[in-house]
Amino acid sequence: MKIILLQDVPHVGKKNEIKEVSGGFARNFLFPRKLAVPATEQAQRSLATKKEHDEKRKSAAQKQYQKLAEKLQGLQVLIRIKIGERGKAFGSVNAAKIVEQLKTQHHIELEKEWLRLDEPLKSTGVKEVPVRFPQGVEGTITVDIQPIEEVLLRQGFGG
């Protein structure tokens, strides 16, 4: 019997696949648990339309993430941290802090899970942080970490 899987079923197949299974397995296990439906002509047409719609949506989302990655390429996020007398940072800069400053400075919102930081940044200077968006799109964001005192002197606040 031909069926269309509505969910991933171990040892049978993945969601939206058309599979051939025994009639008893389909009637007694898959259909009652709403794991599959019979693969009628109408169901197959509906599945093809749904797959086409999903593909268009994925393509649109990928283009949107690609535009965002290109926009990030030219931006620099300035983060100020306290530095001790020996040049050690008080605390560190993590993905949440970078996302927060990106939103504040450039009005761009990202998910912190998209930033690929192996460990929090603890030193001053310019760093390139990789960003992995959904749909396989990748980019980078430039983060400039400056000590608070230096930034204040540069802006004219201090002696």
How does residue 4 score in pLDDT terms, banded at 50, 70 and 90?
very high
Nearest in space to 144 (alpha carbons), one of 85, 93, 83: 93
> For residue 154, what pLDDT is reported?
52
pLDDT at 125: 85
Residue type, 18: I
**pLDDT at residue 41 tops 50:** yes
Q: What is the pTM assigned to this prediction?
A: 0.65
What is the number of alpha carbons within 13 Å of residue 95 lying toward its C-beta? 16
Per-residue pLDDT, averaged over 14-28, amounts to: 94
Q: Which domains does the chain have, with CATH numbers?
A: 2-60 (3.40.5.10), 66-154 (3.10.430.100)
Q: How confident is the model at residue 157 (pLDDT cuts 50, 70, 90)?
A: low
pLDDT per residue over 75-119, tens digit each?
899 988 887 777 677 778 899 999 999 999 989 999 989 999 888
Residue 107: how many CB atoms within 10 A of its CB? Answer: 7
The H or E element that residue 4 is part of is strand 2-5
Residue 71 makes CB contacts below 8 A (sequence gap 6+) with 108
* Rounded distance between C-alpha atoms, residue 54 and residue 18, angstroms: 17
Nearest alpha-carbon partner for 4 in 20, 13, 16, 21: 16
Residue linked to tokens 């760093």: 127
